[in-house]
């Protein structure tokens, strides 16, 4: 009897742009060991073979990667290990079989990984679209050809049982959200029963972490979790006040058949967060797209390092700098798409200027600018729905009572490096369109199944509210009529009640006397 081996998982859309982070995984679906020298893997024009006498044990996983270790961290060990440059120096690395390094390339837009035994195709994993950046494709079962995006909070499960493979008892700590509201920290936890049976009442414990590895310290809070049927979810939340900039926490569920999703170690914002915030930006410079820039300011009382921080739009944030850059209290920093273009437009500017290695272009009509810190906490965001001509910028109010208000710069070119001079519009005549949340996941799990659309503007009987797909077709009309702070709920369905496919949709609202506003809504699964 020949033991079965399957292509079990593949990281086809690597995290970021480091293609060396691509890998795939084989799994032995048998109670017998397998001699692998009679197997070969074919990926496009690349063929991968195994050394004579190379065995895989029963039910063992083998990761085959493009780069196992590297000095710059762009390797399997650098991302899924401890980034020491050595494989096998931590318990987490020794817990799985040492990966094999091989030559291959996975094409995001579509491809296949094929496993042959003695010349016969015995397993393959095929895809026709890239999927989500940094999220692997996992086989649901070794006996099925069905593959789905990983549900694991890290985006993949190299060397262990796939997150989409059902086990008997599995209560997953599916999502943790840590946000800041003035001096308060708001923590939210989403739990999902991914097991095959009912999960009885239990408790989620929240502890202070005593070290970066997440060793639980003093108990901070506990949340009662009710019994959940398979597929059912539950959300728990709390508000806290923590001193300093960050606090390290660990959330823990009782042990079950899948330990990997029972614990989350995370940093939460505290009273002094954030040290940086957005101050000014120009999404439509007269000189063209290369003239885009964003100004941030250190609003903290002490110098703070910018290393690891990221800037971008709704879809993507990119690294500002991987080197230490200390920014003094109150100092402003200009992040330019092109430092040369910025210096040509602002020759007198002598402040701190950084050109990130990559840039998420700003849309000329509407977009959301986001500032994210080194531990992936969102420090600030600003959504604009109109742009200004003649090099006028969007800038933040300087006075305390207007610190959260944005308006047009008083002068052409704005005021990079200087205090903002802001012209605020007539709020009573301006249309404000709010979508909460901006990402919709209408899969019936009770989490982000709908979005709430809020309109605020002048009273009128002449207004339009509708949703377009990427091809410019109207897929959903909403009622018309007079309103004031009118709200609408959208569940991701068309006018005919049909569930719409995943992708980006445009919410369009036009108000008599207040203009028109567009907002993106993303349908995900």
CA 297/CA 320 separation, integer angstroms: 14
Model confidence pLDDT, tens digit, residues 428-437: 345 677 788 8
CA 306/CA 278 separation, integer angstroms: 13
CA 130/CA 108 separation, integer angstroms: 4
pLDDT value at 427 more than 50: no
CA atoms within 13 A on the CB side of 41: 28
Question: Look-up: residue for tokens 């200027």?
Answer: 353
Burial class (CB in 10 A: 0-12, 13-18, 19+), 35: middle
Q: Rounded to an integer, what is the distance from CA 328 to the centroid of its chain?
A: 29
Model confidence pLDDT, tens digit, residues 60-94: 999 999 999 998 878 999 999 988 999 999 998 99
Tokens at 134, concatenated: 């940094």
| Closest C-alpha among 366, 370, 369 to residue 432 | 366
Asked, as a colleague might, if the bond just before 274 is cis with ω within 30 of 0, I would say: yes
Higher pLDDT, 460 or 12: 12
pLDDT value at 455 more than 90: no
pLDDT at 486: 66
The domains found in the chain, sorted by start residue, are: 5-149 (2.60.40.1260), 171-269 (2.60.40.10), 276-425 (2.60.40.1260), 429-523 (2.60.40.1930)
DSSP, res 286? T
Report for 412-416, 462-466, 467-471: range of highest mean pLDDT? 412-416
CA 384/CA 425 separation, integer angstroms: 13
pLDDT at 172: 96
pLDDT at 208: 97
* Contact call for residues 337 and 359 (beta carbons, < 8 A): yes
Pairing of strands 233-240, 184-193: antiparallel
**Which residues on adjacent β-strands are paired with residue 3?**
none
pLDDT at 347: 93
Q: Report, as an integer, the average pLDDT of 139-162.
A: 94
pLDDT at 366: 87
Which helix H or strand E contains 294, and what residues bound it? Answer: strand 293-298
pLDDT value at 59 more than 90: yes
Percent of the chain topping pLDDT 70: 94
pLDDT band at residue 484 using 50, 70 and 90 as cut-offs: very low
Model confidence pLDDT, tens digit, residues 363-396: 988 899 999 999 889 999 999 988 998 899 999 9
pLDDT value at 458 more than 70: no
Within 10 Å of residue 516's Cβ, how many Cβ atoms?
15
Higher pLDDT, 403 or 36: 36
Instruction: Compute the chain's Rg from CA coordinates.
Output: 26
CA-based end-to-end distance of the chain: 40
pLDDT value at 307 more than 70: yes
Tokens at 121, concatenated: 């195709």
Q: What is the mean pLDDT of the chain?
A: 90
pLDDT value at 136 more than 60: yes
pLDDT at 400: 82
Q: Which residues contact 419 (CB under 8 A, 6 or more apart)?
A: 398
DSSP secondary structure letters along 404-437: T-EEEESSTT--TTS---EE---GGG--EEEEES
CA 98/CA 61 separation, integer angstroms: 10
Q: Considering only 40-54, 114-128, 490-504, which range has the smallest mean pLDDT?
A: 490-504
DSSP, res 322? S
Q: Rounded to an integer, what is the distance from CA 44 to the centroid of its chain?
A: 30
CA 147/CA 139 separation, integer angstroms: 4
Q: Rounded to an integer, what is the distance from CA 266 to the centroid of its chain?
A: 15
Model confidence pLDDT, tens digit, residues 486-515: 678 899 998 888 889 888 888 888 776 556
């Amino acid at each position: 009897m020949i033991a079965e081996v399957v292509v079990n998982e593949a990281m086809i859309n690597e995290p970021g742009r480091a293609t060396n982070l691509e890998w795939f995984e084989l799994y032995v679906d048998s109670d017998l060991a397998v001699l692998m020298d009679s197997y070969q893997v074919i990926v496009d024009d690349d063929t991968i073979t195994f050394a004579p006498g190379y065995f895989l044990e029963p039910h063992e996983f083998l990761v085959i990667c493009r780069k196992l270790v590297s000095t710059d961290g762009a390797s399997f060990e650098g991302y899924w290990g401890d980034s020491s440059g050595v494989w096998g120096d931590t318990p987490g690395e020794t817990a799985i079989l040492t990966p094999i390094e091989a030559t291959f390339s996975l094409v995001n837009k579509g491809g296949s990984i094929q496993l042959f035994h003695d010349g016969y195709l015995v397993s393959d994993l095929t895809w026709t679209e890239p999927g989500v950046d940094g999220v692997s494709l996992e086989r649901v079962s070794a006996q099925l050809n069905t593959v789905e995006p990983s549900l694991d909070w890290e985006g993949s499960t190299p060397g262990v049982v796939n997150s989409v493979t059902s086990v008997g008892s599995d209560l997953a700590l599916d999502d943790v959200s840590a946000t800041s509201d003035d001096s308060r920290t708001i923590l939210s936890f989403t739990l999902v029963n991914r097991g095959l049976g009912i999960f009885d009442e239990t408790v989620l414990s929240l502890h202070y972490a005593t070290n970066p590895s997440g060793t639980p310290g003093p108990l901070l809070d506990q949340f009662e979790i009710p019994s959940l049927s398979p597929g059912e979810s539950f959300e728990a939340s709390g508000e806290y006040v923590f001193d300093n900039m960050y606090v390290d926490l660990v959330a823990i569920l009782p042990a079950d058949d899948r330990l990997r999703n029972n614990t989350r170690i995370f940093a939460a914002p505290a009273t002094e967060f954030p040290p940086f915030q957005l101050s000014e930006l120009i999404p439509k410079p007269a000189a063209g797209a290369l003239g885009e820039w964003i100004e941030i300011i250190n609003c903290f009382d002490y110098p703070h390092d910018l290393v690891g921080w990221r800037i971008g739009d709704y879809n993507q944030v990119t690294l500002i700098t991987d080197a230490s850059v200390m920014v003094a209290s109150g100092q402003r920093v200009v992040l330019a798409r092109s430092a040369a273009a910025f210096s040509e437009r602002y020759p007198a500017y002598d402040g701190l200027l950084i050109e990130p290695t990559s840039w998420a272009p700003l849309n000329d009509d509407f977009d959301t600018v986001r500032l994210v810190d080194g531990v992936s906490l969102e420090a600030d965001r600003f959504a604009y729905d109109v742009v200004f001509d003649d090099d006028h910028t969007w800038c933040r109010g300087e006075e305390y009572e207007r610190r959260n208000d944005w308006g047009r710069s008083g002068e052409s070119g704005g005021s990079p490096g200087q205090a903002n001079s802001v012209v605020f519009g007539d709020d009573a005549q301006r249309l404000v369109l709010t979508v909460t949340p901006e990402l919709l996941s209408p899969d019936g799990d009770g989490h982000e199944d709908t979005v709430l659309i809020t309109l605020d503007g002048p009273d009128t009987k002449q207004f339009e509210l509708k949703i377009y797909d990427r091809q410019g077709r109207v897929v959903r009309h909403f009622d018309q009529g007079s309103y004031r702070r009118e709200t609408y709920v959208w569940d991701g369905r068309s006018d005919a009640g049909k569930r719409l496919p995943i992708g980006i949709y445009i919410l369009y609202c036009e108000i008599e006397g207040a203009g028109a506003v567009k907002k993106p809504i993303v349908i995900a699964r």
